[in-house]
Amino acid sequence: MFALARLVVIGFIALSIIYVCLSLYSRAVRRSKLKAEWNEDSDGDRDAFIDAGLAEYDGSLRRKLILGVYVVPAVIVALIIYLTNFA
Amino acid sequence: MVYIKWFFIIVFWVFVAAFFHYTLPQKDIVRVTDTENRRIDFGENSIFWASPDAGNAGVAANRDVFFIQTVRENGSVMVYRNEDTGWGWPPYFKFDTSNLQAEAADLKSTSEAPKWALITHYGWRNEFFTIFPNAISITPMENPDVGKPIPWVNIVILIVFAAIFWAIYVRWRRFRQRRLDPTFEEWQGNIEAAGDAVAERRGRFRRWLGTWRA
């Protein structure tokens, strides 16, 4: 059980680092896209436009899909265990 | 300098290639001649051995390891070890070592009446370190002339790895061109300007010293 605990703990830490990096990167990409959009047809307050766009992003499915960073490896591990030992 | 740079780049990629060659699964067409159980005292080669069966007591100086002795289709021999990888590296999550040994023993055959089998393994056989590839699974083969199947798993893993590497690499390069290079150039400009200012001041100091000489 110690080996399993080690895998889970180290895996969770590694995936959390990837999750945080990916979240920050994805938000930064969205922010620059919003800036580019505002520059094309500028109407109203720039900061308000970007804040509104980011608020919309925060509730979006796209952002929740980043949780796949945790889900996909767990599914792959379960699949490998099945294929190696029981298939 | 350019040779040193290429030396390091080549060494890096050789290590990456060796890592994948060791870790990814490969298939051999073999005929099992015998199976056995040997006591192994791990020494310098301990990194090339996996873990004791899952659930058993861990760190021991020696333990019994299953072996599968085979003859390959081309007539050369190959000896596989049969160990759990458990929850550790490489991530095969293999726990059915004893079952695999039973399957291999069932396929034992002689050269007069060969029974061929497809054995999946990872790792290397090296006589100088006494290391053996670790068998993952074994399936009987009706006709060895069919050949090995296309290694789809390896193809997919290598493509995914290359895609991730490339995605990070282009983003890093873009970031360097847009953010780091202008900053470094600015610093370089500042340092040059500072150098010029120092040189000018020194020149003035020299001239002032010269006034005393006259």
pLDDT digits (tens, 9 = 90+) for B73-127: 889 999 999 999 989 888 999 999 999 999 999 999 998 999 999 999 999 999 9
Beta-carbon separation of B91 and A77 below 8 A: yes
| Helix, coil or strand: residue B77 | strand
Tell me the C-alpha distance between B173 and A80, whole Å.
35
Q: Looking at the domain assignment, is residue B85 inside a domain?
A: yes
Higher pLDDT, B35 or B62: B35
Any bridge partners for residue B140, and if so which? B117
Q: Looking at the domain assignment, is residue B158 inside a domain?
A: no
pLDDT digits (tens, 9 = 90+) for B168-194: 999 999 988 888 778 888 888 888 888
Please give the backbone phi and psi of residue B204, each rounded to the nearest 5 degrees, phi first. Answer: -65, -40
Range of the domain at B104: 2-149
Q: Looking at the domain assignment, is residue B103 inside a domain?
A: yes
ipTM of the complex: 0.77
Any bridge partners for residue B38, and if so which? B65
The total number of structural domains that make up chain B: 1
Name residues 41-70 of chain A within 8 A of B (Cβ): none
Q: Looking at the domain assignment, is residue B145 inside a domain?
A: yes
A6 touches chain B (CB under 8 A): yes
Any bridge partners for residue B122, and if so which? B134
* Tokens (6 digits) for B190: 């500042």
Q: How confident is chain A (87 residues) per 10-residue block, as mean pLDDT?
A: 88 96 92 88 81 88 92 95 90
Q: Which pLDDT band holds residue B53 (cuts at 50, 70, 90)?
A: confident
pTM: 0.78
How high is the pLDDT of residue B89?
83
Please give the backbone phi and psi of residue B193, each rounded to the nearest 5 degrees, phi first. Answer: -60, -45
CB A58 within 8 A of CB A30: no
